[in-house]
């Protein structure tokens, strides 16, 4: 994966150089070169797009269908899931509020002309009533075909929760089938990512030919904003641990050092689980019934930094294309980012899962390909943010279960 990330960055550089060369060519030759490169990039993006809808559906079904077993796994699970939803929602709102202002300071607006269909779709701001109605799709198949992700996610959630009310063996069959479909689709995604450098080169070349070195400056600005937002959300982990978890800030920071280092290097939340468990039980002395419940669930399901990629990425692409995202459109954007975050795999290069948010925002999906090319550092920072929140929530849940910081045991429940 690290080799692929380097290749994609190289593709951005060479695509920019090639674009600058094309811009200096005579008109017919330049337009002909762009006409060849453009479809190649579009095909690559479409190859990822074709997996997104089924991947979102099956992963949401898996998460909601499995919730029955998870809810009964240990005491405090209800509070755990409540905190998961709360922190991801807070992350999405923070990104929606801060990203436009931060990007406006660094990234020029309207550097590229918006495609007519996209511009029209994004310009027609939905009314509140139409937004509410769209949450429940009349035809889920049509919603999938139209890219109406929010309604499709709601249907998938309802379907998954409905399976918790049927026989356990039938539910298990549905979950096994969904996992098999998800695994097969992820294989396709890996195939597509392997030719990512070609796709990224083909995407960047036409952009660089139109706006020159501004493409690199814009991407650098985007990465700066991601760093700032990750720092803000990560700071929230320390606030949670200190205020609600009653953990000394220095002690929490020392316990987090090793998991954060592993997170940055591996870019995988799942890879940090052993280190997180050790930090929770050995360094923070959290009871196993708290850390053993929260941390496996958190590393598998909770991606609090996902909105940093999806919401901020959608706002960035909208700004580059001069598309206005009003409040009425940002509400479903944040909602989709929150809901899809629980289906993001805890593995490197998970940023392609932000496509549903792009579809809801009405911004060009091609922008995702360019962001994916420079996602190595943002992905590493988001993983650090994720594991920081994971451990913070473990301290809070341990406190709610009656454990005093450093005791390593939970007090018995009253009554």
Total Cβ atoms within 10 A of residue 32: 13
pLDDT band with cut points at 50, 70 and 90 for residue 353 = low
Residue 414 has pLDDT above 80, yes or no: no
Tokens of 153: 């996610």
Lowest mean pLDDT among 167-171, 239-243, 409-413: 409-413
Structure-model confidence comparison of residues 215 and 403, the more confident one: 215
Residue 412: which pLDDT band, with cuts at 50, 70 and 90?
very low
- How does pLDDT run across 61-74, given as a tens digit for each residue? 887 776 655 554 44
Q: What is the CATH number of domain 2-400?
A: 1.10.3860
Distance (Å, whole) CA 237 – CA 230: 11
280 vs 23, which has greater pLDDT?
280
Percent of the chain with pLDDT over 90: 19
Answer for the pair 340, 92: CB distance below 8 angstroms, yes or no: no
Report whether pLDDT(351) > 70.
no
Q: Where are the domains of the chain?
A: 2-400
Distance of CA 66 to the CA centre of its chain: 21
Is the pTM here over 0.75, yes or no? no
Nearest to 212 by CA among 26, 8, 23, 412: 23
227 has pLDDT over 90: yes
Instruction: Count CA atoms within 13 Å of residue 3 on its CB side.
Output: 2
Confidence of residue 413 (pLDDT cuts 50, 70, 90): very low
Give the confidence band of 345 by pLDDT, cuts at 50, 70, 90.
low
Higher pLDDT: 365 or 171? It is 171
**CB neighbour list of residue 138: distance below 8 Å, 6 or more residues apart:** none
Q: Is the pLDDT assigned to residue 343 strictly greater than 70?
A: no
Mean pLDDT over 256-267 rounds to 84
Q: What is the pLDDT of residue 103?
A: 92
Most confident of 44-53, 253-262, 395-404: 253-262
Compute the average pLDDT of residues 393-403: 83
Lowest model confidence (mean pLDDT) among 49-58, 81-90, 140-149, 292-301 = 140-149
pLDDT of res. 247: 93
Q: What is the pLDDT of residue 256?
A: 92
Comparison of pLDDT for 382 and 209, the residue scoring more: 382
How does residue 129 score in pLDDT terms, banded at 50, 70 and 90? low
SS (H, E, C) the chain: CHHHHHHHHHHHHHHHHHHHHHHCCCHHHHHHHHHHHHHHHHHHHHHHHHHHHHHHHHHHHHHHHCHHHHHCCCCCHHHHHHHHHHHHHHHHHHHHHHHHHHHHHHCCCCCCCCCHHHHHHHHCCCCHHHHHHHCCCCCHHHHHHHCCHHHHHHHHHHHHHHHHHCCHHHHHHHHHHHHHHHHHHHHHHHHHHHCHHHHHHHHHHHHHHHHCCHHHHHHHHHHHHHHHHHHHHHHHHHHHHHHCCCCCHHHHHHHHHHHHHHHHHHCCCHHHHHHHHHHHHHHCCCCHHHHHHHHHHHHHHCCCCHHHHHHHHHHHHHHHCCCCCCHHHHHHHHHHHHHHHCCCCCCCCHHHHHHHHHHHHCCCCHHHHHHHHCCHHHHHHHHHHHHHHHHHHHHHHHHHCCCCCCCCCCCCCCC
Place of tokens 């069959």: 173
Which range has the worst mean pLDDT, 126-130, 147-151, 249-253, 296-300? 126-130
Using alpha carbons only, what angle is made at residue 124 by residues 368 and 351, rounded to the nearest 5 degrees? Answer: 15
pLDDT, tens digit, 9 for 90 and up, residues 79-121: 788 898 999 999 999 999 999 999 998 887 776 655 554 444 4
Closest CA to 391 of 228, 232, 255: 255
Per-residue model confidence (pLDDT) at position 118 = 45
CA angle centred on 299, ends 294 and 304, rounded to 5°? 95
pLDDT at 246 over 80: yes
């Amino acid at each position: 994966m690290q080799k692929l990330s380097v290749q994609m960055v190289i593709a951005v550089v060479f695509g920019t150089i090639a674009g600058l060369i094309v811009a200096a060519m005579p008109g017919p030759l330049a337009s002909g070169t762009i006409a060849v490169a453009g479809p190649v990039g579009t095909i690559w993006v479409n190859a990822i797009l074709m997996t997104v809808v089924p991947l979102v559906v099956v992963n949401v079904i898996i998460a909601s269908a499995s919730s029955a077993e998870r809810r009964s796994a240990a005491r405090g699970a209800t509070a755990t899931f409540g905190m998961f939803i709360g922190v991801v929602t807070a992350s999405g709102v923070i990104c929606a509020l801060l990203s436009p202002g931060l990007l406006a300071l660094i990234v020029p607006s309207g550097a590229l002309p918006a495609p007519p269909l996209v511009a029209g779709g994004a310009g027609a701001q939905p009314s509140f009533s139409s937004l509410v109605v769209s949450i429940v799709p009349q035809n889920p198949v049509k919603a999938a075909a139209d890219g109406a992700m929010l309604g499709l996610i709601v249907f998938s959630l309802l379907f998954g929760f409905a399976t918790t009310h049927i026989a356990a063996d039938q539910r298990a069959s549905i979950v096994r089938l969904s996992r098999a479909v998800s695994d097969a689709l992820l294989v396709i995604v890996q195939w597509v990512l392997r030719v990512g450098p070609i796709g990224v080169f083909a995407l960047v070349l036409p952009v660089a030919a139109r706006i020159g070195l501004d493409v690199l400056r814009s991407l650098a600005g985007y990465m700066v904003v991601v760093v700032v937002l990750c720092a803000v959300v990560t700071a929230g982990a320390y606030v949670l641990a200190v205020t609600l978890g009653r953990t000394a800030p220095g002690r929490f920071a020392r316990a987090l050092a090793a998991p954060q280092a592993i997170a940055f290097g591996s870019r995988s939340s799942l890879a940090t689980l052993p280190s997180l468990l050790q930090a929770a039980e050995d360094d923070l002395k959290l009871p196993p019934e708290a850390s053993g419940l929260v941390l496996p669930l958190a590393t598998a399901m909770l991606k609090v930094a996902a909105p940093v990629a999806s919401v901020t990425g959608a706002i960035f692409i909208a700004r580059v294309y001069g598309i206005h995202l009003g409040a009425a459109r940002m509400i479903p954007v944040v909602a989709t980012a929150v809901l899809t975050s629980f289906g993001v795999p805890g593995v490197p290069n998970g940023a392609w899962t932000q496509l549903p948010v792009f579809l809801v925002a009405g911004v060009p999906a091609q922008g995702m390909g360019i962001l994916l090319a420079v996602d190595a550092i943002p992905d590493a920072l988001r993983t650090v943010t994720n594991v920081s929140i994971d451990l913070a929530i473990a301290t809070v849940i341990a406190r709610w279960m009656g454990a005093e910081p450093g005791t390593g045991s939970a007090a018995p429940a009253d009554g």
